[in-house]
Amino acid sequence: MAVLVPAVTAAQASAAPVRPAAVVVTYDTSRAGEFVAAVHAGAEVWNDSVSNVRLEPVAPGRTAHVRVIADDGWPRALTTSLGRGTVWMGRQAVHQGYDTTRIAAHELGHILGLPDLKPGPCSSLMSGSTAGVACTNPYPDARERAAVEADFGGLTTPGRTGGPALAGLR
């Protein structure tokens, strides 16, 4: 029995765009308490929305780029450089009725280099709490996606400070 395999011409091979591998940003949820599922969901939102960066749980025994911690305060993020930092999943916002997946995606957006955009509509992930408790949209809008794509395009590892793509969002 013969198996036919289509031949690829040199012209077809050179016409196919070569995509650089996405920058992998690892996160550690070992201190995220009841927010572990929300953090994974928020990371998946970003993975579905952009292609130049991927958020993945850290492998056992490895050091993560991002630590996620549950606490009783307001949610916040401390970014030490692009793709690195700490996210606090604050219970105060959850007790007020804010959606945990939106909170996680928003705070991870800071780690990916995005500033708050307040006030803002529900369609803007980085509008954060100004969209109100009824807003459960965890997805970045086109401008937010484009800024993350631009900042991570061409990088091979996280760690560079925010670049010019952020200027248009401030």
Q: Which one from 34, 107, 144, 149 is the annotated catalytic residue?
A: 107
**Known active-site residue 144:** no
Instruction: Specify the 3-state DSSP secondary structure of 25.
Output: strand
- Active-site residues, by number, are 107
